Amino acid sequence: QKEVEQDPGPLSVPEGAIVSLNCTYSNSAFQYFMWYRQYSRKGPELLMYTYSSGNKEDGRFTAQVDKSSKYISLFIRDSQPSDSATYLCAMSAGGGSEKLVFGKGTKLTVNP
Amino acid sequence: NAGVTQTPKFRVLKTGQSMTLLCAQDMNHEYMYWYRQDPGMGLRLIHYSVGEGTTAKGEVPDGYNVSRLKKQNFLLGLESAAPSQTSVYFCASSPRGLGSGNTIYFGEGSWLTVV
């Protein structure tokens, strides 16, 4: 079983839709959860960073972590064409480990 | 606000040639990382550094060497390039490392093709 699983998509939605992106993981030691956005031919850009279980909201973006289910989500409200990108989940255990495990990314297209 | 800067952005090498990728960060971060990104493989850690003068192996270190002579710079070297090293390389930095619960910030990438 892979440590982190992420549906690669592609996912295509109309402008204004609510987008849900998800990752599952198998390592119960993971405590820190991140979402990165990567535009074509650019570096990953940190969107959301959460610790342990719970929700975090930042503008149109909401990150949810359910450690009991080993499941994390990123919701995008009122999606815009500028949100078209690949979204990567990533997670780490902390505790002195420099290992950061990435999902393979979900490619999202928001159509005007 | 340069953040993490990588040079060169694009490079084509012949098999067996050597080259160095330079990463510079202006955020006074202690930790720096080199990743490679390949289709279907995701991002994988090559080497990292926990401070000036230190280096450590990551997940896929073979064929690469690194040096961190100055806190702000992290160099990735390919001594004898192979076609399998064709990839996009990303440098990243972190204030005090993932192990301390910090996150990492990426550069814009360097596209390397080995023919």
Contacts of A94 in chain B (CB under 8 A): 98-101
pLDDT at position B78 is 96
Residue A103 to residue B42, Cβ atoms within 8 A: yes
For residue range B84-112, list pLDDT tens digits in order: 999 999 999 999 988 888 889 999 999 99
Q: Which residues contact residue B60 at a Cβ distance below 8 angstroms, ignoring those fewer than 6 apart?
A: B36, B44, B45, B46
- The DSSP output letter for B98 is G
**What average pLDDT is seen over chain A?**
94
Q: Compute the nearest-CA separation of B87 from chain A (Å).
A: 12
Q: Tell me the mean pLDDT in the region B3-30.
A: 96
Q: Does B7 touch chain A (CB under 8 A)?
A: no
Distance CA B75, CA B67 (A): 5
For residue range A31-72, list pLDDT tens digits in order: 999 999 999 999 999 999 999 888 999 999 999 999 999 999
- What 3-state class would DSSP assign to A82? helix
Confidence of residue B113 (pLDDT cuts 50, 70, 90): very high
Which residue matches tokens 């450690």? A67
How many Cβ pairs closer than 8 A exist between chain A and B? 61
Residue B109 to residue A34, Cβ atoms within 8 A: no
Q: Does B60 touch chain A (CB under 8 A)?
A: no
Q: Tell me the mean pLDDT in the region B6-33.
A: 97
Q: Which of A46, A97, A99 sits opposite B103 (nearest CB)?
A: A46
Residue A98 to residue B48, Cβ atoms within 8 A: yes
Q: CA nearest B46: which of B31, B65, B30, B70?
A: B65
Residue A104 to residue B107, Cβ atoms within 8 A: no
User: What DSSP line would sit under A17-52, residue for residue?
Assistant: --EEEEEEE--TT--EEEEEEE-TTS--EEEEEEES
Q: CA nearest B92: which of B38, B30, B9?
A: B30
A10 cis-preceded (ω within 30 degrees of 0): yes
For residue range B47-87, list pLDDT tens digits in order: 999 999 999 999 999 999 999 999 999 999 999 999 999 99
For residue range A20-34, list pLDDT tens digits in order: 999 999 999 999 999
Q: Which residues contact residue B37 at a Cβ distance below 8 angstroms, ignoring those fewer than 6 apart?
A: B43, B44, B87, B88, B89, B90, B109
pLDDT at position B1 is 55
For residue range B27-46, list pLDDT tens digits in order: 999 999 999 999 888 899 99
Distance CA A35, CA A89 (A): 5
